[in-house]
Structure 1
Amino acid sequence: MGVQELADLSRSGSGSGRDGRAAVDKAMSLLTSFGQEAYSGVGVSELARRSGLSKSTAFRILGMLERNHAVERVGSDYRLGSELHNLGGRVYAPQHSTVRDVLTPFLADLYEATRQTVHLAVLHGPDVLYINKLYGHRTVASPSRVGGRVPAHCTAVGKALLAYSGQDSEELIGSNLAARTSKTITDIGRLRAELAQIRRTGVAFDNEESRDGLVCVGGVVTGAGSRPVAAFSVSGQVSRYAPAAAEPALRRVCMAASRALSASQVALAS
């Protein structure tokens, strides 16, 4: 949406002196109102109802968003447009796709060795970003999804990456640790102690800290110069999976993956 369009929309409001930020709020309210129908499409009246806007205002904003390819028409309905996909792809570092491509074969090796749900993740601010995930027919309920983010302090991949990041954990995630379950670590001192333990043992655990009933073991993957780049994890249902049993396979795969990632980064740099 252009600056002039925002200004026009603001002036066309209720006359209450709303500025351009109010127009952005309206546009964002509409975009987040699509929900699960972002691809199939939603009608103007329903979008207006969900976003708390009048139908005429919703129609006007949707027209501006359509001209900028943020939404597109599907008959008389609207759905999210291609420009949002393009913008979303720029949120994350471009090297993540390279990391995913290099490490996915090793993620497959980890799945073959454990037959449990396995993840590949990187740090993104205070969260972990899942860039790949493999699972079999016996899946487990998990907060992870490819492209999704979860607070780092309550996941095995996140704690493994925090432990080897070389930065103080509070610099990365702050001291206010949100609880996902009753077992989530919310005390920064306790988290520091656990990160120190991870550095001694080389593996991290999630003991029902991100979701009740889900347990996980994670290990870091390093790149050139032994810099932590990503992490693998193996997760399963607490009633039928012991994370420690996956440790040997996890360590073996992390070492092999680290060698391959380092070699690929050196090759790219030369």
Structure 2
Amino acid sequence: MAGNTSVPGASVVSRSLALLFAFDDQHRRLTLSELARRADLPLPTAYRLVGELVAGGALVRRGSGEYVVARRLWQVGLLAPVETGLREVAAPFLNDIHAATRATVHLAVRERTEVLYLERLSGRASVPVVSTVGSRLPLHATGVGKVLLAHAPDDVVEAALAQLGRVTPYTVTQPARMREQLDRIRRDGYATTVEEMTLGACSVAVPIRAGGAEGRVVAAVGIVVPSLKRDRPRLVAALQVAAQGIGRSLG
């Protein structure tokens, strides 16, 4: 929910952005009334602005009456530096890991208190996952998310610890236990999850540091498998090699 856009003084731009930001991974198709509610706008205002967004090529109205994000807006989003540079640099390394494991491979960055998935490679042998390219998931319930949270600023960590929602029966929801895990991630250099986001799926992830081992953590690369009992050391080693290669390439 965008919020605060119905108050007097809110600009046309802020209200239009609220309508666009009403879409997310769980809300890919919205009716006009749903758009107005999620953007916190009066229905007549939403009707006028949505019409302008459709005319401008930012939204598309389906035959059902629902609205979706237009391809033109998606193309603009791909111009963001985090998309173009990082994805292009990481692509060969991600492909190598996927070819060697046939498991789901993730490339992700942090956006506030969520993990944003920039890339996902999977195949028929991969474990079912809920992530998609462009989707956002809780930091505390995913391998790549835990890595990014472990290296996030203190205010982000505190905000994330204040909203440890339960996704599965195995999701860590106790702040003290999560702090212990974050300390261990910083010490060991990798994070793991065991059915914390999806039942039947485990993950391991490592940080990507721009420029090398002492650089700033800018992203995370991870892999999702049915179990980590036997192959964790091998997977961690493969991910660390890939992360180092990506980090050096970023410069």
The alignment's TM-score, normalised by the length of structure 1, stands at 0.68
CA distance in 2, matches of 1:104, 1:151: 24
Report the alpha carbon displacement of residue 148 of structure 1 after superposing the two structures with TM.
0.7
CA distance in 2, matches of 1:190, 1:96: 33
User: Could you tell me which residue of structure 2 aligns to residue 68 of structure 1?
Assistant: 56
CA distance in 2, matches of 1:159, 1:57: 40
The alignment yields a C-alpha RMSD, in angstroms, of 3.8
Q: Alignment partner for residue 233 of structure 1, among 218, 222, 226?
A: 222
Partner deviation per Cα, 1:58-97 (whole Å, 9 max, x = no partner): 875554333433335789977644564366457xx62342
Mapped pair 1:124 → 2:111: yes
Unaligned regions of 5+ residues in structure 1, if any? 1-9, 11-17, 39-46
Q: Alignment partner for residue 245 of structure 1, among 223, 226, 230?
A: 230
Which secondary structure does the structure 1 equivalent of 2:115 belong to? strand
CA distance in 1, matches of 2:236, 2:77: 33
Q: Alignment partner for residue 102 of structure 2, among 115, 123, 129?
A: 115
Within a 5 Å distance, the mapping from 1:81-230 to structure 2 comes to: 81=70, 84-85=73-74, 88-89=77-78, 94-165=81-152, 167=154, 170-171=157-158, 173-224=160-211, 225-230=214-219
CA distance in 2, matches of 1:262, 1:49: 45
CA distance in 2, matches of 1:165, 1:159: 10
CA distance in 1, matches of 2:147, 2:35: 40
Identical residues among aligned pairs (%): 33
Partner deviation per Cα, 1:222-259 (whole Å, 9 max, x = no partner): 222332222222213xxxx3224343343333333343
Moved more, 220-229 or 244-253: 244-253
How many residues are aligned here?
Answer: 232
Are the aligned partners of 1:233 and 1:250 in contact in 2 as well (CA < 8 Å)? no
CA distance in 1, matches of 2:78, 2:232: 34
Partner deviation per Cα, 1:122-159 (whole Å, 9 max, x = no partner): 11111111111111212432121111110111101111
CA distance in 2, matches of 1:105, 1:121: 15
Whichever residue aligns with residue 71 of structure 1, its letter is L
The 1:89/1:99 distance shift into structure 2, 3 A limit, reads closer
Partner deviation per Cα, 1:24-45 (whole Å, 9 max, x = no partner): 49x939x86xx6668xxxxxxx
Larger radius of gyration: 1
CA distance in 2, matches of 1:135, 1:189: 34
Whichever residue aligns with residue 162 of structure 2, its letter is S
Are the aligned partners of 1:109 and 1:253 in contact in 2 as well (CA < 8 Å)? no
Report the alpha carbon displacement of residue 217 of structure 1 after superposing the two structures with TM.
1.6
Which secondary structure does the structure 1 equivalent of 2:230 belong to? helix
User: Could you tell me which residue of structure 1 aligns to residue 3 of structure 2?
Assistant: none
